[in-house]
Chains A and B, each alone.
Chain A
Amino acid sequence: MRHGRRGRLPPHRPRAGRGRRGAGRRRWPGAGGAPRQPADDDGGPHPARPGSGRGRHLYATHCARCHAADRTGGVGRDLTDLDDFDRDTLVRVIDATMPAGRPTACAGACAERVGDYLWALRDGAPPPDVPPPPPVEPVDCADAPAALSPRRLRLLTRREYRNTVRDLLFPEAADLVDACPPHRFALAAADAPPGTATVHVAGSFNDWAGTVAGGGWPLARTADGWALERDLPPGRHRYKFVLDEQQWIADPANPDGEDDGFGGRNSVVEVDCGAGEAPVLPADPAADVPAETRPDAFPFDDHAASGRVTVRHLEAYLDAAEVLARAALERPGFAPCPTADCAADFVRTFGRRAFRRPPSPAEVDRYAALFVDHGAEAGLTALLSAPAFLYRSELGAPDGDGVWRLTPHEAASALSYFLWASMPDDALLAAADRGPIDRAAEAARLLADDRARAVVGDFALQWLGVDALRTAHKNPDLFPDFDAALRAAMLAETADFARHVVFDGSGRFADLLTADYTVGDARLAAFYGLDRAADGTLPYADAARAGVLGHASVLATYAHSDQTSPIRRGLFVRRRLLCQELPPPPPNAGGVPEVDPDATTRERFRQHTDDDFCRGCHQYIDGVGFGFERFDALGRWRDTEAGQPVDARGELNDLEGFGAGTQATYEGVHELAALLADSDAARDCFVRQTFRFAQGREDAADDACAVRDLRADFDAAGGDVRALLTAVAAHPSFVLRREAP
């Protein structure tokens, strides 16, 4: 047997569970229709069927993007010439490696069908003796199987955990933790004698420690000196820097000082933040919980399959629960009286809110015993780190025909965590106690609360992927004003803008893309050079910025540290706004061209479109990104680049899907925004992103009908985002589950 070009292949083996897909599904309730015909294409290997319509369809779905619809190759190799393959090797290569970067998307029977399709049509193959295949028919949603999320447990995200402990324990507290920023001590290298090895800070806050060993706070080396961030209590502090533990100097960068009583000066810092009401908690209760993890193509922090409790999580949950329990028990009247009956009552009432359902009798016994045997702190700690607290259950109850339906309490949590990222309130819990809840009505009620505003902001940051800006680095010489405050202002802009459009403005998705204003603080207004309007918004000064595409958070996230990136910005539009995934770069792809003072970005990236090999994918990427060239790597306006006027023309080919053959050109992001706002693909994508966020999983091909339902509701409401959120909550997919594997 000959091998393909990719070297040794793994032994082919059947994959467990394959072939069972589709079993036990049913249509949406009320959809009716005839039982699904036994699919002729389910099951295992089958004889080659030249020109098979299914194989052709799968090829078009998974392969044509890189190998071209006529199989003559593009990014991928020419598949008409298969002289170096035999049929079985071809199938195994497809199974194990294709589509590039996502080999599981077409494995098993899919790989067999595509392989047979290609094998039958290869150059030199005998002509097929069957008539040409009929065109692929669109899915008929009236008779389609419902793709449902599995029955599962969803671990609270850190966002949900913080909100939940606030609403559960401290509903009246303004701030759970002290929001004061730490004070930053910094000493520039130029302000220290050459050869200085160590710097520490000594002051009234650490007893003027003359050495680090004696309690001084060491500053860390930075690119241009030394720095340290520390929390300081409210009040007036005096300090000096100590060089090499010998030489005491005042802070040269701090103009405030006073006589030190020894003929020199102390530097002075006033801290007034935090001087008001003491915060409830000493620190963010979720600070030690590891960050959520997720698959690369999934934008959100609530990926249900990835939410797992490792020992690091558990240590963090237990420690936080203890701190929370102590803080809660300081409130008068919170603790139960120390008898078994009181403890059981407390577990029944508090546990109903903590577990978001009435605790079972066994749970009441188990947790009441902890109160009795070990005290209220231990009992409360246990409840606040219990599996029923950390996971929200989506296990449901049997609903016939292999489908499960969330219980009223589970549905109430699904709703409140979707729209509030927090626990149900008393009204919602009470409704669930009575029976099935009216999800559309409850959604409308929840959307009127400030907690929904917070969620819409968080959704926007994750949907657009700009939360990555929190840890992004920018070249400090090119962008000296990119400090913590500006970073925070950029993120706040995008979150607050989404809230403004959805709740205070038109409410329409299109305005997220095309709005001629933004919102932000003074720092952001100065950064953009915008004046504030009477209503508090910041109208864009000209037409060149529009909606989120003009946000510095987006422009800076999808750029490098020192230069713009048409690739990242183009991929951002394709992946985040159009839900169009491209394969990863192939082996031997070139790198990012060097910054060249005499060449524009467009010139430097020309290879991507001059080279046939690159063009296959980059025709869909760079052309889109070029339209952002008015904005530098931090999102600042620029008129020229490399001494030439900026050319902000872009092209958006195949907007509605790869291979559609459409072409569109535009000038600047405002025109791009208009193209997107009018497109089917962008609206579909926004619906899909919302569906992913609500379901905590990737959408699959079988979800097309649910997406279509939601899209119809979204369109009927004129593209209103709140209407879409309500439709998602009211849709059957929100509460129906399938048996998990």
Chain B
Amino acid sequence: MRRRTFLALTAGLPAALNLLGRPARAQAAPARRFLVFYFPDGVAGPSQDGQPSLWHPRGGLRDFELPAQLAPLDPLREHCVFLDGLSMGPTDAGSHPGGAKKLLTAVDGGNGESIDHVLARTVGADAPHRHVYLGVQANQNGASGDKHISYPSAGHSTPPEDDPVRAFERLFGGGVAPGLPAGDPAAEARIAARRSILDAHLADLNALRGKVGAAERSKLDLHTEALRDLERRLGGMAMEAPPPPAETCDAAPGSVGRVDRGALYAPELFPTLLRAQTDLMVQAMACGLTRVGVLQASHHTSELVMSRFADTEMYDPGYDMRSHQASHYGPRHDPAHREFAAYVQQRRYWVQRFADVIEALRARPEGDGTMLDYTVLLLCTEVCDGNTHLHDDMPFVLAGRGGGAIDTGRLLSFPGRRHGGLFASVAQAMGHRIDRFGDAGEAALPGLVGA
């Protein structure tokens, strides 16, 4: 009964009819998920004058110290893997946009499909929404394409959805026939009509395909994929497991209700918006609506005035400390320097928000454990140190066990290896075997995934 209600309010009730007729797959293991958490403008890594990193943990495989910026992860360290030494390569090193383009594609200039879309098209393809990309003030100030990190096709990023209310309506909305009961002839008629519309458009695209070159064909491929996605949703979505009984799948998280849509770009409301987008992403995953998500907080070279976040250590209404400004903290780690002190606080804030995501997943029982055990989380930013802008020794952190594929609680070092290898490993953990990823042809990182 619970499930019937849920489906009626998510994928659209008539869409669910097929599913309800199928035998339940109660014994199936929970699906694995991939969730990226991005924050802007790097970390306090190795300084310009050679002082060692204040981000990268020091110590042995399981016995290591977390520096101040990572302190919020200390209580959760057994759920994380801290990574050292991965490089994004020399191209555009020194540049925020260059780093953002390589970050999830591992291809120079963003000239490749990003790992989130690779996974959305494979292991995530059965979910009603193959990919969910939510932003928080990520489209501020007329942000151009190089400020966004998710690339559905080579060379072309797509903007995230910054409005939690619109995102909720899209993800949890009523489908093609909202409010109509199961088997209602009017609902069936609407679905049949929508299916015929999609068929007509597919026929149009097929007729166009023969008339265009490869570059335009990639546009038509994306369009065709979108039509097939909607067609698939009309056919009813198979979920491998019903949502956990405690999950709310028919109402927005309370934090979404607190969003003021008239002020989506006010810095003082940023924490409220980030909370809403985080809750929405976790709820969409818990309800089986998606398995692949990207959360993008602001964008690189961010003008976000983080000193206006109330109830945080950054709060200082007397001074506008912007993210990008703080990142240029000077030649050395100097706690007496205002920018440097603010920069470390800001990084700690981002890490704390990543910890919030981990906690939200850990609070939801699933399978033999919690949602966290079936998820791979990635914390990332587009450069290493925000002052030097270098693309080496990138500050990646993983969390979650990916259904047992990842042994957490470790510090792993891969000096000189390219970060495409991390994504090859993540794909393996997700059950999609790719041996190499990115334009450097980097292989999966030894020892990261599997026994």
Contact = CB atoms under 8 A, between A and B. Distances in A.
Interface residues of B, number: 105
A387 B205 contact: yes
A101 interface: yes
Contacts of B229: 311, 314
Nearest to B89: A10
A9 interface: yes
Contacts of A294: 144-145
Most chain-B CB neighbours within 10 Å: which of A7, A93, A313, A595? A7
A560 interface: yes
Contact of B308 (A223, A293, A296, A369): A223
B331 interface: yes
Interface stretch (B24-32, B257-265, B347-355, B429-437): B257-265
A592 B328 contact: yes
Interface magnitude class on chain A: 35 or more
A153 B216 contact: yes
Given A8-B89, A378-B196, A587 B141 contact: no
A374 B144 contact: no
A363 B205 CA distance: 11
A477 B320 CA distance: 11
B185 interface: no
Interface string B379-401: 00000000111101000000000
B240 interface: no
Contacts of B142: 465, 467-468, 470-471
B364 interface: no
Interface stretch (B3-11, B70-78, B92-100, B402-410): B92-100
Contacts of A315: 170, 230
**Of B170, B226, B263, B265, most A-chain CB atoms within 10 Å:** B226
Contact of A8 (B87, B129, B157): B87
Interface in A416-449: none
B440 interface: yes
A146 B12 CA distance: 53
B203 interface: yes
A514 to B, nearest CB: 26
Given A311-B226, A366-B200, A591-B327, A290 B159 contact: yes
B269 A584 contact: no
A5 to B, nearest CB: 10
B443 to A, nearest CB: 14
A683 to B, nearest CB: 25
Contact of A468 (B97, B141, B387): B141
Nearest to B262: A229
B116 interface: no
A212 interface: yes
Nearest to A363: B204
A6 B94 CA distance: 11
A587 B201 contact: no
Nearest to B48: A588
B204 A386 contact: yes
Contact of B219 (A308, A318, A586): A308
A474 B450 CA distance: 50
B345 interface: no
Interface stretch (A214-222, A636-644, A707-715): A214-222
A178 to B, nearest CB: 16
Nearest to A227: B260
B153 interface: yes
Contact of A97 (B90, B189, B194, B201): B90
B269 A471 contact: no
Contacts of A311: 129-131, 225-226, 229-230
Interface string A353-375: 00000000011001101100111
Contact of B258 (A221, A312, A467, A468): A221
B58 interface: no
B20 interface: no
Contacts of A182: 262
B203 A366 contact: yes
Contact of B338 (A295, A594, A740): A594
Contact of A387 (B91, B208, B324, B441): B208
A370 B95 contact: no
B214 interface: yes
Interface in B315-346: 317, 319-320, 322, 324-331, 338-339
B61 interface: no
B268 interface: yes
A515 interface: no
Nearest to A292: B159
A314 B328 contact: no
A560 B389 contact: no
Contact of B170 (A103, A312, A739): A312
Given A468-B141, A561-B303, 10 more contacts: A7-B392, A11-B440, A11-B441, A220-B258, A295-B146, A374-B197, A378-B193, A477-B317, A561-B320, A589-B328
Interface of B: 48, 87, 89-98, 108-109, 129-131, 137, 139-142, 144-146, 148, 152-153, 155-159, 161, 166, 170, 189, 192-194, 196-197, 200-201, 203-205, 207-208, 211-216, 219-220, 222-223, 225-227, 229-230, 257-269, 272, 303, 305, 308, 310, 317, 319-320, 322, 324-331, 338-339, 387-390, 392, 416, 439-441
Interface of A: 6-11, 93, 96-97, 100-101, 103-104, 150-153, 155, 182, 184, 212, 218-223, 227-229, 288, 290-291, 293-296, 298, 305-315, 318, 362-363, 366-367, 369-370, 373-375, 378, 381-382, 385-388, 395, 465, 467-468, 470-473, 475, 477, 560-563, 584-592, 594-595, 739-741
21 contacts: A6-B90, A6-B93, A7-B90, A10-B90, A101-B97, A103-B108, A150-B216, A151-B212, A151-B216, A152-B212, A220-B263, A220-B269, A229-B263, A290-B158, A305-B155, A308-B158, A366-B204, A374-B193, A385-B197, A560-B322, A561-B303
